[in-house]
Structure 1
Amino acid sequence: MLSARKWLLSIASAALLVSATPAVDDRRSSAAAACARVGTKQELSPAFAGSVQYEHDISHWSNASSLPSLCSVQPDSPQEIQQLFSIIKATRTPWAVKGLGHCNNNNMSSTYGLQIDMSQFSQIALSEDKKSLKVGTGLNWGQVYGYLAPHGLIVVGGRSPTVGAAGLLLSSGYAWLTNEYGFAIDNTLSADIVLPNGTFTTVSENHGADIFRALQGGLNNFGIVTSLTLKTFPIGQVWGGSLQVTGDLTAMIDATVEYSAKPSVPQATLAVEFLAVNGTATGLIIMFYDGPTPPPGLFDAFVNLPNATGSVKTQSFIDFVQAGEVAAAPNNRATWYSAPILNWTREIIEYIGEQAVETSIKVAQQSKSGTLVSGNIEPFGTQAYSFSRGSAWPHDTAHPYNTFNGLVMWTDPQDDKILFDLTIEYHTKIWQKAIELGISRPKGEVFFPPNYSQGITPVEQIYGPNLGWLRTLKKKIDPWNLISLTGGFKI
C-alpha cells in the first residue's frame, strides 16, 4: 500500500504530465481523480510510472499495444473490482483490463487512464469428477497445461504457453484441439463476472444464459471476468513438431494444397507460414496429431520435404506446446489482421506467399525497424464449427471460414503508423483476392474473429446479426455506459 504522501506526490506528477500534453488532457484529468480515489482504498494499491508493478501492468507481448496509463492496479477479489467500477462510475475515467497482454491493438487492453491488471486472479482447480477445470483470468496456458498434465487431461486452449487464458476464452479461441472439440469459446461451462452495475455473478447455460452467450466472443463488453470453468478431455501422448523450410517453397505449397484437399481428420491440425524478410521467404510448418502416431500419409508430404529441418516426434502435449514457443525481444512491436478463407486453393496459397514477400520489401523500404512479415495458413475442417452454441461471435457449419492471418513485426515506435497501415493493406489484398477466387465473401457476409482483427474493423463485421441482442443486453447490465470508457470493439 502506498503511503498517502507517496500517492499524492504521484498524482501531482501526473497533473504536470497532463498540463504538458494537452492532447491527452481530457483522458488524464478524470484518470487523475480515479487514481487518487484508488489510493484512498485500503484494499487497493495504485502503481505509477517508474515502479516495477506499473511496468508489468501496462506491458504487452507487443509493445505497440501498450499505452502509458496514469496509474495501474492489481485487484485480487471481486469485491475490489466492484470498488473499481464504483470509482470509474464516479470519475468517468478511461480504463482497461488486461489478462496477459497478448493483444494486437492499443486501447483495447491498454489505456491512458486506469489500467486494471488481473495477475492476482491465478486460481486453478480441477473438479472432483475431473470433468471441468476452473481457471483464473490471470493465468497463461502454460500454467493451465502444466497443472493438468499429471492428471492426463487437457482443455481447449491457446497454442502458445505464454498467451493468457482470459483473452482467448473471451474472443474466439483457435486451438490445436479445435478440429476435435471446437473453439475455446465453445468449451466454457461457466464464468464468474463482475458486471458494470456492480453485480458479481456466475453465468452459465442454466443461469444468466444471455450473458454467458455474450461472453463467447464478447471480449470486455459485459464486465470483468475473474474466472472461467472449462470442459476437460483426456489426453495421452501426442505427435507433432515443427519444420523450417528454406530455398524453393514449391514443394511446401504442393504439400499444403494436397493436405487441404483431403477429408479433415479431427485429431489433426496443421499451420503453415510464409516468413518473409526484405524480399526473401522461408517456410514454417507446424503439425499436430492427438495421438502417438498420425495415420499413414497424413503428414508424409511435409515430413519428407528435402529442404526442411526440424523435429516431429511423439511427446507429451505440454512438451509439444513449449517446444514451439519463441520468446519475443524486449522491444518487440507487432500487429496482425485476418481474412476469412473458405478453401485453401493453390491460387490463394501462392498469392499469400507472394504478398508476404511484397509486403516485406515495402516494410524494408518504408520503415527503419521492420523485422518480419508472416502469412499464416490454418486449414481447419468443417466439423470444427459444429460445436458452436450461438455465441456472440458468429461461427457455424454454414459458414466454416478458416482464417489467413498476416503479421508484421518491428522495433521502433516511430514506425507504428507505417506498419499498421501496411498490415491493413496486406490483409485487404488477401481478402480481395479470395473474394475474386470465390473462396471468401465481402463485408457483411463473413465475420472476423475479434482477437485476429485490427481496431479499425467495424463492430458489424465481427458480431453481424448478433449486434441487436448484444446491444440490448449491454444496456440492461451497464446503465451508466461504463463499458464505453474502455477500448475495444464496442457494441
Structure 2
Amino acid sequence: MSPFRLSVLSALLYGVARLSSVNAAAAIPQNANVDNPSVQGDTSSLPSESHVASMVKQQPICCDALSFFLKGKVFKSSASQYEASLQSYWSQQEQQVQPSCILIPQTVQDVQLSIFLLSVAAKYIPNGCPYAVRGGGHTPWAGAANQQGGVTIDLSKFSQLDISKDQKQISIGAGRRWEDVYLKLDALGLATSGGRVASVGVAGLTLGGGISFFSPRYGLVCDNVINFQVILASGKLVNANAQTNADLFKALKGGSNNFGVVTRFDMKLFTQGKFWGGFIGQDISTRQKQYDYFVTFASSKTYDPYAALIMSFAYTLETGWYIASNFEYTKPQAYPATFKNFTDLPQTFNTMRISNLTDFTVELLGRNPPGSRELFVTATFKNDAASMARFFDIANATLDPFKTTPNLTVSLSYQPFPQIVTSKGFATPGNPNSGNSLGIDATRGDLTNVLLTVQWQDPAADKNINDFATSLFKNTEAANKKAGTYDPYLYLNYASKQQDPIQGYGQASVNFLTSVSKKFDPLQVFQNFVPGGFKLMKTGLV
C-alpha cells in the first residue's frame, strides 16, 4: 500500500475509533451517540501531522482517497454516473461545473467517513479538499451546490420517505424532491409544508426557509421541521431538535449549509385533501389595478389563511409583457371571495381547477423547466403598490440590451410575505431556542417578496442579463429606501450569488449563527472548504 493510502487509513481509522467508541476496524454504527451534545464539533483529537504527512493538495488525490474508502461510490468524468449527476441539476450553469469527482454515498456511514476525511484534509493539506453537497440541485448559479475541480457529494440516494404510525410526522431523506413527497402524501390525504415546484429539492428549500402554499396556515417550511439528522464536520452524527442541540436546530432553520450535512428531515404532517388552484393570464394593462388589489389581499388584518398567490409579470419577445398569476386556495372551493378582485378582471387564459398538491407543483415545474441558463435575484419591501410598480417600470425601461435574446423569458414575481406567515417563526417567551434564524420580528410588518427570474440559452448574453439585474435591483433599492419601503431581508432560496441574504437577517441573527458555527464546526470547515451557498464569512464575522 502506498504511503499516501497508509497515512490516510491511519488518520481515518483513528478518527473512526474516536467517533464510534468501538474497535477502529469496525464501521461507524448509524446510531452512535446521535443525541450526545458533548461530542459537538470535537476535533481536538484529530490525528497528528505525522499521520497525514504524505498527503498532497491536488484534488485528484482527494478523490483517490475517497475512492479507496468508498469503493464503487466515487465517479470521475469518464463514468456515466458522473454525467447523469451533472445533468440532473436544474440550471445550465450548474450542469457545466466540472468537479474532479462526484461521490454518491449510499448510507449515513458513507457520509460520515467522507466528511471526516475531507475535514482531515482541511486541517492538514494546504488549500484542503474543497467540496460541495447537493440535494435537489435547484439553486441556479454555478458553484451553488457543485464544486469546480473539487469534490461534489450527491445525496440523491438518500431517498427515505417514512410516515409515523400516527400519521403526524414524515421522515424525508435529503436526496428527495418535493414531487416524491407529495405523490406519497396525496394518496393518504396528507400534506406537509413544502416546496411549490415539483423538482425542487427538500434539503435546500428547507434550510433556506422555504415558502409553501400552506405558509399562511403553518408558517415557512423550516418552521415545520421537528428534527434534523446532521453530520458535523468532525464526522459525528447528531440530532437537532427543540430538546437536543436546540441552538443548532434553530440555526438550521434558515442558516443553509453552514453547520453540517443534513441527511434527514423529520417534518410535521397534517390532513389535506384536494384543493383549488392554477394559473390565470391577464393583460399587462391591468397592472395598476393588480398592484392595488395585491396590497389589500396581502394585509394580515384580512388575510385568508387558505390563500396563496404568486403574481408574475412575464416577458418574451413573442408576447411582450403579460400577467400570469398562480392562485391556490387550499380548500376544495372554487373562486373564493379573497381572490374576487383578481378573477373578475378579463382573462387571456385559465387553468384553474380542483386537484391535488402534486398536480399543482408539476404545473409550476412546467413553467420553469430544467436545462436553461437561469438567474434569480430577490428583494423585500413593505406591502406597497408604488414599490411594485417601480420594479416593473424600471425593468421594462432597461430591457433593450438583451430583449431579442433567443429563448429569453423574464419574469417579475410578487409574493405576499405578511405577518400571518412570518409570525409563526418568531421565538416565544420562555423558549429562546424556538423559532427560526431569519431575524424577522413583528416590527417588520407585512412584507412583499419580489423575485426576478431570467431564462435564456446563449452564454454570450450572460453579461447583458447580469448587468440588467444588477442595475434593476440597485436602482429599486435606492428608490425604496428613499420612499421608506425598503426591507433588508432577502429570501435565501431566491438570492443571486452576488447577494448576501444572511447579512439581511440582521446583526443579532448573524451573531447567533456565527456562535453556532464556531461551536459545532470549530475548524470552520463549512466556511472555508464548502464554498457553495451563502457563507457566514461574507459578513466578516467568522
Same amino acid, percent of matched pairs: 25
The farther-off stretch of 304-313 and 139-148 is 304-313
Partner residue, 1:300: 340
433 and 104 in structure 1: CA distance in 2 versus 1, 3 angstrom threshold: farther
Separation of aligned partners in 2, 1:236 and 1:89: 46
Q: Which residue of 2 aligns with 1:4?
A: none
The Cα offsets for residues 209-234 of structure 1, whole Å up to 9 and x where unpaired, read as 11111111111101111010011111
Distance 1:296 1:327 in 2: 24
Moved more, 170-179 or 469-478: 469-478
AA aligned opposite 1:466: S
Alignment partner for residue 82 of structure 1, among 112, 115, 119?
112
Aligned partners of 2:440 and 2:505 also within 8 Å: no
Quote the offset at 1:199 in angstroms.
Answer: 0.6
CA distance in 1, matches of 2:221, 2:370: 29
User: Is the 1:383–1:397 contact (alpha carbons within 8 Å) kept by the matching residues of 2?
Assistant: no
Kindly indicate whether the alpha-carbon contact (under 8 Å) linking 2:372 and 2:456 is maintained by their aligned counterparts in 1.
yes
In the aligned structure 2, how far is the partner of 1:286 from the partner of 1:437?
29
1:304-315 maps to which residues of 2 (within 5 A)? 304-315=344-355
Structure 1 residues 74, 61: CA separation in 2 closer, same or farther (over 3 Å shift)? same
Partners in 1 of 2:99 and 2:462 — Cα distance? Answer: 19
Equivalence for 2:325: 285
The answer as to whether partners of 2:214 and 2:306 remain within 8 angstroms in 1 is yes
Correspondence for 2:495: 453
TM-superposition CA deviations, 1:358-399 (whole Å, max 9, x none): 34333237xx55601111111233211111143222223322
Distance in 2, matches of 1:288 and 1:111, equals 37
How do residues 245-260 of structure 1 correspond to structure 2 at under 5 angstroms?
Answer: 245-246=282-283, 248-250=285-287, 251-253=289-291, 255-260=293-298
What is the aligned partner in structure 1 of residue 312 from structure 2? 273
Q: Encode CA deviations 1:115-162: one digit per residue, 9 max, x unaligned.
A: 110100001111111111110010111110111112211100001111
- Preserved contact between residue 379 and residue 491 of structure 2 (Cα < 8 Å): no
Kept in 2: contact 1:64–1:416 (CA 8 A): no
Give 1:45's aligned residue: 73
Asked if residue 490 in structure 1 is aligned to residue 535 in structure 2, the reply is yes
Unpaired runs of at least 5, structure 1 = 1-27
Unaligned runs of 5+ in 2: 1-55, 122-127, 426-433, 537-542
Name which of 378, 386, 394 aligns with 2:439: 394
Aligned Cα root-mean-square deviation (Å)? 2.3
Cα deviation for residue 203 of structure 1 reads: 1.2
Q: TM-score, normalising length from structure 1?
A: 0.87
Superimposed CA distance per residue, residues 73-113 of structure 1 (whole angstroms, 9 cap, x where no aligned partner): 11121211121123212331110001111103222211110
- Structure-2 change in CA distance of 1:424 and 1:108 (3 Å): same
Greater Cα offset, 376-385 or 125-134: 376-385
Report if aligned partners of 1:97, 1:118 keep a CA contact under 8 Å in 2. Answer: yes
Cα deviation for residue 270 of structure 1 reads 1.0
SS where residue 156 of structure 1 aligns?
Answer: coil
Partner of 2:26: none
Residue 236 of structure 2 corresponds to: 199
Normalised TM-score (structure 2): 0.79
Cα distance per residue 1:399-439 (max 9 Å; x no partner): 24331111111112333343233222222233333323322
Q: Which of residues 259, 262, 268 in structure 2 aligns to 1:225?
A: 262
The answer on 1:111 being equivalent to 2:155 is no
Aligned partner (choices 230, 239, 253) of residue 216 of structure 1? 253
Q: 1:173 and 2:213 equivalent? A: no
Task: State how far apart, in whole Å, the 1-side matches of 2:79 and 2:506 are.
Answer: 39
CA contact (8 A) 2:225 2:267 kept: yes
Max Rg structure: 2
SS in 1 for 2:172: strand
Looking at structure 1, the residues matched to 183 and 241 of structure 2 have their Cα atoms a distance apart, in angstroms, of 26
Q: Say if 1:452 and 1:115 are closer, same or farther in 2 by CA, change over 3 A.
A: same
2:201 counterpart of 1:182: no
Secondary structure at the aligned position of 1:301 is classed as helix
Instruction: Give 2:363's aligned amino acid.
Output: A
- Is 2:378 aligned against 1:338? yes
Change (3 A) 1:53 1:222: same
SS in 2 for 1:206: coil
- In structure 1, the residue matched to 2:461 is 415
SS at structure 1 position matched to 2:117: helix
SS at match of 2:157: coil
**Once the two structures are superposed, what CA deviation does each residue of 1:36-61 show, in whole Å capped at 9, x if it has no partner?**
11121244521122433212323421
**Contact 1:447/1:461 (8 A) holds in 2:** yes
- Identify the residue that residue 31 of structure 2 maps to in structure 1: none
From 364, 375, 381, the equivalent of 1:324 is 364
Counterpart CA distance in 2 for 1:303 and 1:141 is: 29
- Say if 2:399 and 2:468, in contact at 8 Å, map to a contact too: no
Aligned positions, number:
457
Secondary structure at the residue paired with 1:472? helix
CA contact (8 A) 2:379 2:489 kept: no
CA deviation after TM superposition for structure 1 residue 248, in Å: 2.7
